[in-house]
Amino acid sequence: MAYKIKVWCFLLFLLKLVSNLQNCAHAAPQVPCFFIFGDSLADSGNNNHLVTTSKANYRPYGIDFPNGTTGRFTNGRTTVDIIGELLGFDQFIPPFVTARGRDILVGVNYASGAAGIRDESGRELGDRISLNEQLQNHAATFNRSIQLLGTEQAATNYLNKCLYYVSLGTNDYINNYFVPGNYETSRLYTQDQYAKVLIDQYSQQIKRLYLFGARKIALPGLIPLGSIPYASSTLCLKNLSCVANINNAVLPFNAGLF
């Protein structure tokens, strides 16, 4: 996934941010803006008004978050909230549904719970904003940036300097491939073939992001999905061989990111 894009190894990137934290605590942000694409791990409210069971705009979500319940799928901050703070931003990056005016020049969070690389992933949960739709929303942001900055070249030059965080794939497995009653992907592809299909589509989507000015892109891999509570208790019914199978399935996907 080269395409002249600087793809950042997420763990090394995060360690670098932490090591620089003391130096940037009272300085300007290390990048002018931060754009976020993802699923429930990064959603900060884009699903609140969708018809879906994948929403978190009620307690106990947000019980430890300074702004209370916002639609984040956690009791407190998300990973991208923390990254934004480490980058030096003094406010959380706004979700696309509420970003207005010049706020978009600081960045936008497009993430949506249940979203996937594939459009159909997560459909059994209801509405969600897939990565393709998130990219369409970013196209609208790009056009608004041109209006704010005066010319397309000025907007492109500005966005070249920003950080883009893109983290999807979880729902393409646990709300697609490993739900054979709702999806046919596991009958069409072996695990290795499916990982390649996902990476090929992901590559094309990252190319689209490149066309909108993205040059600094963080692409974190997937965690061992079989070990998350939903997978181990619902998909696997605490069957350890099933857990290991799901964990192994994501390995070729992660390998394909580099």
105-151 pLDDT, tens digit per residue, is 999 999 999 999 999 999 999 999 999 999 999 999 999 999 999 99
Asked if the structure places residue 100 within a domain, the reply is yes
Asked if the structure places residue 110 within a domain, the reply is yes
Q: How far apart (Å, rounded) are the C-alpha atoms in residues 6 and 13?
A: 12
160-186 pLDDT, tens digit per residue, is 999 999 999 999 999 999 999 999 999
Residue 52 lies in domain: 6-168+195-220
Asked if the structure places residue 179 within a domain, the reply is no
Q: What is the pLDDT of residue 26?
A: 54
Tally of domains within the chain: 1
**Does the pLDDT at position 5 exceed 90?**
no
Q: What is the mean pLDDT of residues 242-251?
A: 97
What would the two tokens of residue 187 be? 């009958």
Above pLDDT 90, what percent of the chain? Answer: 87
Q: How confident is the model at residue 2 (pLDDT cuts 50, 70, 90)?
A: very low
Q: Which residue has the higher pLDDT, 27 or 111?
A: 111
SS3 of 27, please?
coil
Contacts of 230-235 with CB under 8 Å at 24 or more apart are: 230/174, 231/174, 231/178, 235/174, 235/178, 235/179
Asked if the structure places residue 236 within a domain, the reply is no
Average predicted confidence (pLDDT) for the chain: 91
**Does the pLDDT at position 235 exceed 90?**
yes
Q: How confident is the model at residue 24 (pLDDT cuts 50, 70, 90)?
A: very low
> Where are the alpha helices (H) located in the chain, listed in sequence order?
10-24, 79-87, 131-149, 152-159, 170-172, 185-188, 191-211, 229-230, 240-249, 251-256
**Does the pLDDT at position 1 exceed 80?**
no
Asked if the structure places residue 157 within a domain, the reply is yes
